[in-house]
């Protein structure tokens, strides 16, 4: 087979497919495409709705939101909810801590996990089985809160930035996913490189790693989203150092305190509430919506950026020959 | 081949970027802390040169609930620092407190000051305060004098926590009732000619009549009665029976002559749920009432279509605020202290009780407890209390010719502005500090909301007219003046001890009520008895005795120790 | 088609048993350097803290040191297994888990296949990106919308009434028999887009030559889907399935907690909720640990069975 054929982009490949099948039967693809289009529109409507609804709630006056009935469009526009979120001076530093931990975790995870996956995909590797078992089992147990805390404490990671990074540098799930992917890469590639005298590390770095781009993009997304959304480590291990707090944890505190202030019998005053103040007041429902948007938008942009890597792996075939 | 390496190059760049971000991040935070350090030492120098007495020190504080960091230039904290030298380093909590306390205790990682918690007390995390108060804190000693015995830990007799609420001085102005009651829309009473409603039957009759006359409100179907039972907000379903027989809120038990028993399976409880069952048959109870979540409940209330419910006032405050915003003043609620029959005196409103599970304790890790107790002693003085509660004179409140504290509308509005408060109030600290409640020595209320002038100024025309019709000053007057609290009161503050049979029994009882009471209310009236019998027979399978014994043991302890 | 076969052979090379000799170790030293330190790392972070499992046999109090703890034998396990509610929560956990597993797999794979058939890259990416949005909303928000939609005046009842499928609004959340389905559907709604990502990545690795070969054989679109795309992601599907089977007791607690109420409590409570209620919420860390151990034992057993089955069927294996 010629090189050109293998370099076909997925668009091209799909294009070819359509043209040919049109020739074989005309009705079938039309029917299929129509059905598919309708289904996709339905899917988009259904999955876009909760997000649009959250945006609408976040832009609606808190006191009005309580009445319910906000769907896609705010009834009483306000930026008050966002003001309340951004008024907290602590979220700016927390944002950068979150960015730092997310990027660093992602990079380390991808590199280390792929390296490990490569070794465990080598059938000749003597420790392949025991190491695989050791990693796989970690998915199904947890030692518990307190022993985990003692470990972190003994390692002097309490109140340190590194507690966000070190305990989660490798995930067994991701390792298995990458290993499965590597399994689809023809072994001949590795074998021939070995014959050329390349060592395993070199093969991993030069051949396997670049070929794994689509799965690495996926894993990068998983790790990044996980790191960005996690708050439990900040809650358990760094809560006494404000400057290490993460965005998610700060937003959680904001949300819970807005709930507290309304449910604390000693605070609820209700006196001197006139119309203007009542309008500007923030309710748990509205601040939750604003918080959700603020917390998720920065990480949402990652996916579209990674999507283009989902197709790069197509030139596997070209290396084969 | 070249193209294939692009991701790798990109990754390299990304990695380099990360490291620079992290390094700069770390560097930045280090710089910051260094800055803080130097600025505070700078303050030291100036502080000690201008005033030899003020010596700066830092107090780390754990607040066992969520809160927000005050802004760095917060005016109240600045004042504290200038006058006492103390700066606070707060740690707020969001997430499950049980998990956090578990690791804190296991690792003995305690800051200087911690809010009260029975788990921390049991773990020996606080130091006894009696001697410290005796020696160094004359103001606190005076403040707590009458309550001294009640503050003692039931297990070893030491005082570990300085309760933040429940110590009263001077006249107690009360204009606001935040507790439990049967609530009814003001318009229901207004239309019936402002009757005095005493019993449960009268209450449901009024609702039934109003609903028959107004099948819809603002175009939506009228809902007669709502019962909220969502998550931990279960009192709307569980608590009414004890109040209906004239008892105060003791949680899951009714206490007679110092002896507690659960009331869930008693006939007077059955009477209530049977009434609800009948009302359901008449269509007065919202069909969805047991499947709704809290948000849906508030939505219904704030739409103005719900005529009545049993709830605690603070719980649906947001719905009332929303009604006020919509100018639906006639749809806001009045609390009624209902009983089964008129011979029973209502006991919904109670005298504030000492809050034993809250307030600050000094941890065993605190380096200089004397300094901290002295600081707390300073902050209980009236001047500081006024600063915390009312703010700075002239800025946050005004003093009129008669020496009464008042707020302008602008100042009032600011008090409900969360952003403003972060820079101008010290709520996180003050909420947990020992505090004077009632009135100051000059007669002003310690709480702006309770200042009668303030209350009147905030009242709208509808409410003025409504109260006039009843001849009341405020909505609190619908309730009987509370008698002196029984010595043991309240039973709900008794610590059942984690994981004990009493606590397990309590959890089981709650589960049974959650499961069977909705069934009983929604049952066909002819099936009510059989559902009820199943419910009570399930209750009798639970170790109720362990639960009641534990409570009775503690009640006895309180009577023995608190009466002196 | 022929290509598939050769490709498969390449993957399924028969394993050679190697003896552990110095020569082998030396020849594999790079592999060892690349994996053994990471193994030590995971042993430190995941296995070392397992000493904490001793808690399950104690009446653990955090304030005490290890030597001061009370040892109570199997008391915690006894409490767990002899409680009247245990069988019920186990049933609910399994029921909801299996529904979630089946629905989750089928919908994600079908959606991935359909997405793969969209010709325009821009549309494909747009749909993909939108469909994964709900993953970023918390369960509080999602269940809030679910509850509103299922209310008597909610959109679900509206549509069914307009279609004359029902005469009166149904109170969906008041009936135990609907509860598992509602939880399953909520999961699909929230996670289907997210779950397809992994399959889409796997599809990217399918050799285009296979499609071309199928073309030349005159295969229709369905045939290609069935005989090229699906086999291409089969190993991923099987591996994910094995891993998920091990998680069958993790039905979660948030959704059930947020959507549940007194009327459906018999169908809504899961093991996690039970352990939370009588464990952590009561400060009983020992019970929580015992619950964790129980789940682990079941997980590992199921995992081994699934893995063995896959081996017997000649499929990709986890271990």
Least confident piece of the model among A29-38, B205-214, C191-200: A29-38
| Percent of chain C scoring above 90 in pLDDT | 63
What's the confidence (pLDDT) of residue A62? 85
Which residue is closest to A102 within chain B, CA to CA? B18
Q: In whole angstroms, give the CA distance from residue B496 to residue B499.
A: 9
Nearest in space to B244 (alpha carbons), one of B198, B280, B290: B198
- Report the gap between the CA of C240 and the closest CA in chain B (Å): 27
**Cα gap B140→B122, rounded to integer Å:** 24
Q: How far apart are CA B365 and CA B30, in angstroms?
A: 25
Give the pLDDT mean for A97-120: 96
* Beta-carbon separation of A270 and B322 below 8 A: no
Residue C67 structure tokens: 């030597």
pLDDT of residue B484: 84
Instruction: Write down the pLDDT at residue A184.
Output: 84
Alpha-carbon distances of B175 from B117, B264, B415, C6, rounded to whole Å: 30, 32, 18, 85
What residues of chain B lie within 8 A of the CB of C283, using their CB?
A: 98, 102, 119, 498-499
pLDDT value, residue C18: 62
* Residues B253, B265: Cα–Cα separation, whole Å: 11
Q: CA-based diameter of chain C, in Å? A: 79
Contact B21 A96 (CB under 8 A): yes
- Give contacts of B 26-55 with C, CB under 8 A: none
Phi, psi (rounded to 5 degrees) for C60: -65, 130
Which one has a higher pLDDT value, A270 or A135? A135
Average the pLDDT over A187-206 and give the result. Answer: 92
Band of residue C121 on the pLDDT scale cut at 50, 70, 90: confident
Specify the pLDDT at position B77: 95
Distance (Å) from the C-alpha of residue B443 to the closest C-alpha of chain C? 44
A167-191 per-position pLDDT tens digit: 999 999 999 999 999 988 888 889 9
- Residue B293 sits at φ, ψ, to 5 deg, of -95, 180
Both tokens assigned to B69:
């960091």
Judge contact between A212 and A114, C-beta under 8 A: yes
- Could you give the angle at the alpha carbon of C177 between the alpha carbons of C171 and C182, nearest 5°? 70
Peptide bond between residue B490 and the one before it cis (omega within 30 degrees of 0) = yes
Chain C contact residues (CB < 8 Å to B): 59, 61-63, 143-144, 147-148, 151-152, 171, 173-174, 257-258, 261-263, 265-266, 277-278, 280-285, 287
Q: What residues of chain C lie within 8 A of the CB of A124, using their CB?
A: 16, 18, 28
Q: Alpha-carbon distance A153 to A159, whole Å?
A: 9
What pLDDT score does A11 carry? 37
Q: Which two tokens stand for residue A229?
A: 């959304």
Report whether B206 contacts B197 (CB < 8 A).
Answer: yes
What does the pLDDT read at residue A155?
A: 95
Test mutation, C169, C257, C282, chain B, max B CBs within 10 A? C282
Tell me how far apart the alpha carbons of residues B218 and A64 are, in angstroms, rounded to a whole number.
16
Q: What b/e sequence results for B324-334 when a residue is b if at least 16 CB atoms lie within 10 Å of its CB, and e otherwise?
A: bbbebbbbbbb
C-beta of residue B449 within 8 angstroms of C-beta of residue A266 = no
**pLDDT at A284 > cutoff 90:** no
Percent of chain C with pLDDT over 70: 94
**Residue C158 confidence (pLDDT) above 80:** yes
What are the tens digits of pLDDT across the range C211-255? 888 888 888 888 888 899 999 899 899 999 999 999 999 988 889
E strand map for B17-85: 57-62
Give the H or E element holding residue B406: strand B405-406
Residues B244/B268, Cβ–Cβ less than 8 Å: yes
Contact at CB, B458 and A259, closer than 8 angstroms = no
Residue of C205, C213, C286, C318 best to disrupt the A interface, most CBs of A under 10 A: C205
Interface size, chain B vs chain C, as Cβ–Cβ contacts under 8 Å: 83
- Please tell me the predicted confidence (pLDDT) of residue C16: 52
The CA angle A147-A148-A153, to the nearest 5 degrees, is 95
| pLDDT at position A313 over 60 | no
Res A258: pLDDT: 79
Distance CA B1, CA A270 (A): 70
Residue B564: predicted pLDDT: 60
Among the partner-chain residues B102, B291, B499, the one whose CB lies closest to the CB of C173 is B291
Q: Give how far the C-alpha of residue A219 lies from the chain's centroid of Cα atoms, to the nearest Å.
A: 9
Q: What does residue C138 show for φ and ψ, rounded to 5 degrees?
A: -75, 160
- Rounded CA-CA distance A136/A120 in Å is 12
Whether A254 has its CB under 8 Å from any CB of chain B: the answer is yes
Mean pLDDT of C124-149: 92
In the 8-state DSSP scheme, what is residue B481?
A: P
Q: Decide if pLDDT at C198 tops 50.
A: yes
Handedness of CA C40, C45, C46, C50 (dihedral sign): positive
Q: What is the CA radius of gyration of chain A?
A: 26
* Chain C touching partners, 3 or more CB pairs below 8 A: A, B
Integer CA distances (angstroms), A265 to B180, B205, B241, B330, B426, in order: 11, 31, 22, 24, 18
Stretches in chain B below the pLDDT threshold 70: 1-53, 170-173, 564
Distance CA B490, CA A127 (A): 65
Residues 198-257 of A with CB under 8 A from C: 199-201, 204, 214-215, 217-218, 221, 225, 229
Cβ–Cβ below 8 Å for B458 and A271: yes
Q: Which is more confidently placed, B102 or C3? A: B102
Q: What is the pLDDT of residue B445?
A: 87
Measure in Å the smallest separation between the Cα of B170 and chain A Cα atoms.
19
Touching A: C residues 223-262, CB under 8 Å? 224, 232, 235-236, 239-240, 243, 246-247
**pLDDT the model gives residue A28:** 66
pLDDT band at A280 (very low <50, low <70, confident <90, very high): low
Higher per-residue confidence, B2 vs C74 = C74
Distance CA B510, CA B447 (A): 36
Q: Is C33 on the interface with A (CB under 8 A)?
A: yes
DSSP assignment of C191-243: HHHHHHHHHHHHHTTS-HHHHHHHHHTT--HHHHIIIIIHHHHHHHHHHHHHH
Distance CA A35, CA A41 (A): 10
Nearest 5°: phi and psi at B253? -125, 160
Q: Which of C263, C278, C282 has its CB closest to that of B290?
A: C263
> How many alpha carbons lie under 13 Å from residue A172 in its C-beta half-sphere?
22
C81-312 fold: MetI-like fold (1.10.3720)
CA distance B541 to C80: 17
Please state, in angstroms and rounded to a whole number, the distance separating the CA atoms of residues B117 and B362.
12
In B79-179, DSSP assigns E strands to: 86-91, 113-115, 168-169
Tell me how far the alpha carbon of residue B262 is from its chain's centroid: 24
Residue A278: pLDDT above 80? no
Give C196's contacts (C-beta < 8 A, 6+ positions apart).
C108, C109, C111, C112, C115, C128, C131, C132
CA A11 to chain centre: 26
| C-alpha dist (Å) from residue C245 to C97, C300, C305 | 9, 10, 9
Q: Is the dihedral of CA A99, A100, A103, A106 positive or negative?
A: negative
């Amino acid at each position: 087979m010629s090189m050109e054929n293998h370099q076909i982009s997925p668009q091209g490949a799909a294009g070819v497919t359509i043209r040919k099948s049109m020739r074989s039967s005309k009705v079938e693809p039309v029917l299929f495409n129509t059905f598919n289009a309708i289904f996709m529109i339905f899917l988009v409507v259904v999955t876009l709705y909760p997000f649009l609804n959250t945006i609408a709630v976040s832009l609606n006056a808190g006191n009005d939101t309580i009445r319910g009935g906000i769907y896609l469009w705010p009834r009483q526009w306000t930026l008050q909810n966002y003001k309340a979120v951004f008024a907290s001076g602590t979220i700016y530093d927390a944002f950068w801590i979150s960015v730092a931990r997310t990027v660093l975790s992602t990079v380390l995870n991808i590199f280390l996990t792929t390296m490990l996956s490569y070794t465990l995909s080598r059938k000749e590797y003597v420790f392949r089985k025991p190491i695989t078992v050791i990693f796989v089992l970690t998915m199904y147990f947890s030692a518990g809160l307190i022993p985990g805390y003692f470990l972190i404490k003994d390692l002097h990671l309490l109140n340190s930035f590194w507690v966000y990074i070190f305990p989660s540098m490798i995930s067994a799930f991701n390792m298995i996913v990458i290993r499965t992917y590597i399994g689809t890469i023809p072994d001949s590639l590795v074998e021939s490189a070995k014959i050329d005298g390349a060592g395993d590390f070199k093969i991993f770095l030069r051949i396997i790693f670049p070929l794994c781009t689509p799965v690495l993009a996926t894993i990068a997304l998983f790790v990044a989203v996980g790191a960005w959304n996690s708050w439990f480590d900040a809650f358990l291990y760094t809560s006494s150092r404000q400057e290490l707090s993460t965005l998610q944890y700060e937003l959680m505190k904001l949300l819970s305190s807005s709930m507290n202030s309304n449910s604390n019998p000693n605070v609820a005053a209700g006196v001197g509430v006139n119309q203007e103040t009542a309008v500007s007041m923030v309710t748990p429902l509205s601040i939750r919506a604003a918080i959700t948007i603020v917390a998720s938008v920065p990480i949402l942009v990652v996916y579209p950026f990674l999507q283009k890597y989902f197709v790069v792996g197509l030139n596997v075939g070209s290396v084969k020959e | 081949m070249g193209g294939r390496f692009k991701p790798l190059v990109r990754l390299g760049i990304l990695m380099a970027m990360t490291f620079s971000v992290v390094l700069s991040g770390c560097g930045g935070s280090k710089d910051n802390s260094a800055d803080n350090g130097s600025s505070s030492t700078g303050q030291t120098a100036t502080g000690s040169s201008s005033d030899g007495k003020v010596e700066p020190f830092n107090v780390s504080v754990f607040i066992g609930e969520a809160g927000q960091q005050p802004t760095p230039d917060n005016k109240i904290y600045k004042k504290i620092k200038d006058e006492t030298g103390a700066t606070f380093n707060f740690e707020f909590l969001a997430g499950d407190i049980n998990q956090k306390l578990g690791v804190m205790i296991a690792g003995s990682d305690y800051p200087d000051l911690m809010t009260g918690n029975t788990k921390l007390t049991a773990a020996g995390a606080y130091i006894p305060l009696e001697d410290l108060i005796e020696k160094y804190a004359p103001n606190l000693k005076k403040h707590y004098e009458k309550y001294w015995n009640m503050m003692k830990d039931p297990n070893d007799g030491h005082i570990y926590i300085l309760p933040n609420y429940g110590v009263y001085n001077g006249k107690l102005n009360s204009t606001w009732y935040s507790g439990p009651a049967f609530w009814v829309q003001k318009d229901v009473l207004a239309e019936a000619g402002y009757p005095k409603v005493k019993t449960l039957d009268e209450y449901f009759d009024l609702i039934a009549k109003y609903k028959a006359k107004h099948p819809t409100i603002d175009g939506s179907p009228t809902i007669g009665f709502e019962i909220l039972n969502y998550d931990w907000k279960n009192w709307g379903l569980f608590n009414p029976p004890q109040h209906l027989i004239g008892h105060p809120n003791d949680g899951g038990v009714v206490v007679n002559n110092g002896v507690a028993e659960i009331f869930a399976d008693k006939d007077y409880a059955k009477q209530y749920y049977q009434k609800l069952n009948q009302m359901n048959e008449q269509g007065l109870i919202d069909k969805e009432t047991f499947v709704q979540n809290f948000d849906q409940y508030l939505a219904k209330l704030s739409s103005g279509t719900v005529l009545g419910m049993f709830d605690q006032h603070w719980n649906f405050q947001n719905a009332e605020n929303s009604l006020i915003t919509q100018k639906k003043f006639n749809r806001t609620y009045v609390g009624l202290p209902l009983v089964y029959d008129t011979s029973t005196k209502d006991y919904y409103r109670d005298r504030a009780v000492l809050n034993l599970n809250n307030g600050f304790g000094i941890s065993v890790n605190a380096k200089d407890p004397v300094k901290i107790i002295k600081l707390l002693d300073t902050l209980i003085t009236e001047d500081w209390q006024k600063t915390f509660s009312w703010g700075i004179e002239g800025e946050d409140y005004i003093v009129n010719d008669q020496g009464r504290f008042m707020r302008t509308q602008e100042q009032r509005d600011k008090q409900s502005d969360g952003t403003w408060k972060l820079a101008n109030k010290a709520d996180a600290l003050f909420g947990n500090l020992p505090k004077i409640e009632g009135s100051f020595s000059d007669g002003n209320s310690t709480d702006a909301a309770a200042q009668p002038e303030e209350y009147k100024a905030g009242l709208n025309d509808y409410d003025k007219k409504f109260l006039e019709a009843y001849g009341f000053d405020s909505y609190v007057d619908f309730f009987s003046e509370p008698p002196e609290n029984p010595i043991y009161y309240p039973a709900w503050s008794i610590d059942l001890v984690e994981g004990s049979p009493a606590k397990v029994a309590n959890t089981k009882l709650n589960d049974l009520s959650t499961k069977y009471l909705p069934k009983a209310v929604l049952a066909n009236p002819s099936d009510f008895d059989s559902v009820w019998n199943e419910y009570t027979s399930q209750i009798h399978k639970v170790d109720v005795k362990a639960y009641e014994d534990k409570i009775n043991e503690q009640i006895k302890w309180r009577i023995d120790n608190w009466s002196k | 088609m022929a290509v598939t076969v050769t490709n498969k052979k390449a993957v399924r090379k028969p394993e050679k048993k190697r003896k552990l000799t110095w020569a082998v170790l030396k020849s594999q030293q790079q592999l060892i350097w690349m994996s053994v330190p990471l193994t030590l790392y995971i042993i430190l972070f995941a296995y070392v803290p397992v000493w904490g499992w001793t808690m399950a046999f104690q009446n653990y109090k955090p304030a005490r040191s290890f030597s001061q703890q009370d040892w109570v034998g199997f008391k915690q396990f006894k409490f767990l297994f002899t409680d009247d509610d245990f069988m019920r929560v186990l049933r609910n956990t399994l029921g909801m888990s299996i529904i979630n597993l089946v629905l989750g797999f089928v919908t994600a794979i079908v959606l991935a296949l359909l997405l793969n058939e969209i010709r325009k890259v821009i549309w494909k990416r747009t749909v993909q990106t939108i469909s994964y949005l709900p993953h970023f909303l918390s369960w509080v928000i999602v269940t809030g919308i679910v509850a509103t939609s299922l209310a008597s005046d909610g959109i679900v009842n509206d549509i069914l009434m307009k279609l004359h499928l029902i005469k009166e609004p149904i109170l969906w959340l008041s009936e135990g028999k609907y509860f598992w389905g509602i939880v399953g559907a909520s999961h699909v709604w929230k996670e289907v887009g997210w779950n397809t990502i992994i399959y889409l990545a796997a599809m990217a690795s399918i050799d285009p030559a296979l499609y071309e070969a199928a073309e030349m054989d005159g295969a229709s679109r369905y045939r290609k889907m069935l005989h090229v795309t699906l086999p291409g992601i089969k190993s991923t599907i099987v591996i994910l399935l094995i891993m998920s089977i091990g998680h069958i007791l993790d039905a979660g607690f948030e959704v059930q907690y947020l959507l549940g109420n007194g009327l459906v409590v018999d169908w809504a409570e899961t093991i996690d909720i039970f352990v939370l209620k009588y464990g952590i919420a009561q400060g009983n860390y020992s019970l929580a640990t015992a619950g964790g151990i129980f789940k682990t034992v079941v997980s590992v057993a199921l995992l081994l069975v699934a893995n063995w089955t896959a081996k017997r069927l000649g499929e990709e294996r986890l271990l």
